[in-house]
Amino acid sequence: MTRSDRPSPLFAQRRLARCHSIADLRRAARRRLPRAAFDYADGGAEDEVTLARNESAFDAYALLPRTLVDVSEVDLSTQVLGQTCALPLVLAPTGLTRLFHHEGEHAVARAARSAGVPYTLSSLSTTSIEDLAAAVPGPHWFQVYVWRDRGLVREFFARCRASGYSTLCLTVDTPTLGQRERDLHNGMTIPPRLTLGALADAALRPAWCWKFLTTRRIRFENVRGAGDADAGDLTTLWGYITEQFDASLDWDDLAWMVQEWNGPFAIKGVLRGEDAVRAAALGVRAVIVSNHGGRQLDHAAAALDVLPEIAAAVGDRAELILDGGVRRGTDVLKALALGARACMIGRPYLYGLGAGGEAGVSRALDLLRAELRRALMLIGAPSVRALEPGFVRRSAAHPA
């Protein structure tokens, strides 16, 4: 019996069955995870204005249902970068995923595969490119940060190609790391300096602590061997990594990378129409409209708020993926109506992972699938492709 076939314990199943929304999964994750781990996922930069704005931006749009439409069959599937997706969702790259469950990226990728949606492995993953590809059939996507050492970037591309990754996703909103103050308070710093309070809090979660202490050490597996002798060690490597992020990244570098990869290429972290147009002209096939889930520049615009203008600027020159703040099926519906091909989700699946491993990620995807299906039926749209701006209206209480 493989791990994925193994039934999750009855109490975990019961816990997940009581979660009826992503907000319920968030509460369950908060109870199960040490505060430092939960806050690392849940928090954002500085005053968390953008984090909150990403979610509240969806409330500014009201839905306008069409009546008497045959919705006895509803098709949720779509094509993203030539790949058929059973749902208009892509799982976002998240670093340090094994902090939330010891099976980490494997659990997330298995749940993504079962749901028929792509999974994006982060450069800062706790499972290597090769290990994930061997454990869970893809095709997966890989997210790349740009390093000063371009040899490392080239090496990533070659490793992804050899392991059958379909799509490269370059994150462009991280010339330096955003200041996440919850992490500073908890000692989740670079290097990690867990405070006494954070350690005591972790001790109150024995199930998490037991797995943390008895399973493979959490390391940045993709960059092992780089830098000094024990470069896989988080404490030394986190510093190495931040030193290695290249703040001089520009359009010439993007052009080089698109050519070097020579396959489906997405950039993640665009908030302006002109940048999306310029990227498309260089051969980028998908633009991920994103502010990194409110973790980088605080006060940046909400991803949803800039989506319509980016859609108008880009037209059909690139596919758009909305990333940030999606917590409900109606959020997905609104993003698609406003021009996105699909949505990326980060925290929704991490809450599921923290609440119950692979089954928890599946629960998150099941909830979003059921909510989207119901919303499409109630709005009178028999497929996600039928969505268009006429289904939404910016409410008078939230003028543009």
Report the interface residues with ligand FMN, using CB under 6 A: 40-41, 54, 92-95, 122, 124, 143, 171, 268, 290, 292-293, 295, 323-326, 345-347, 350
In this structure, what are the phi and psi dihedrals at residue 290, rounded to the nearest 5 degrees? -160, 145
Q: Can you tell me whether residue 171 is helix, strand or coil?
A: strand
| Among 100, 320, 341, 89, residue whose Cα is nearest residue 208 | 100
CB of 341 to ligand FMN, least distance (A): 16
Burial class, 9, CB count within 10 angstroms (exposed 0-12 / middle 13-18 / buried 19+): exposed
Tokens, residue 101: 């469950």
What is the rounded CA–CA span in Å between residue 246 and residue 258? 17
Q: With respect to ligand FMN, which residue has the nearer C-beta, 296 or 381?
A: 296
Instruction: List Cα–Cα distances, 137 to 34, 77, 116, 157, in angstroms.
Output: 31, 20, 12, 18
CB neighbourhood size of 124 (10 A): 19
CB of 74 to ligand FMN, least distance (A): 24
CB of 188 to ligand FMN, least distance (A): 10
Catalytic residue among 140, 185, 292, 299: 292
CB of 234 to ligand FMN, least distance (A): 14
What is the rounded CA–CA span in Å between residue 175 and residue 79? 31
Q: With respect to ligand FMN, which residue has the nearer C-beta, 61 or 381?
A: 61
CB of 298 to ligand FMN, least distance (A): 14
Sign of the four-CA dihedral 390, 395, 398, 400: positive
Q: With respect to ligand FMN, which residue has the nearer C-beta, 270 or 311?
A: 270
Contact 130, 159 (CB under 8 A): yes
Q: What's the chain's length in residues?
A: 400
Q: With respect to ligand FMN, which residue has the nearer C-beta, 348 or 356?
A: 348
What is the rounded CA–CA span in Å between residue 357 and residue 130? 21
What are the residues whose beta carbons fall under 8 Å from the beta carbon of 127, sequence distance 6 or more? 97, 98, 104, 105, 106, 121, 135, 221
Q: With respect to ligand FMN, which residue has the nearer C-beta, 53 or 285?
A: 53
CB of 350 to ligand FMN, least distance (A): 6
Q: Can you tell me whether residue 284 is helix, strand or coil?
A: coil
What are the residues whose beta carbons fall under 8 Å from the beta carbon of 341, sequence distance 6 or more? 78, 79, 80, 88, 286, 319, 320, 321
Beta bridge partners of 269: none
What is the rounded CA–CA span in Å between residue 69 and residue 11? 42
DSSP for 70-97 reads --SS-B--EEETTEEESSSEEEPP-TTG
140 is a catalytic site residue: no
Q: With respect to ligand FMN, which residue has the nearer C-beta, 93 or 138?
A: 93
What are the residues whose beta carbons fall under 8 Å from the beta carbon of 8, sequence distance 6 or more? 16, 356, 357, 358, 359
Q: With respect to ligand FMN, which residue has the nearer C-beta, 348 or 381?
A: 348
Q: With respect to ligand FMN, which residue has the nearer C-beta, 173 or 201?
A: 173
Give me the residue whose beta carbon is nearest to ligand FMN. Answer: 346
CB of 66 to ligand FMN, least distance (A): 29
CB of 96 to ligand FMN, least distance (A): 7
Catalytic residues: 292
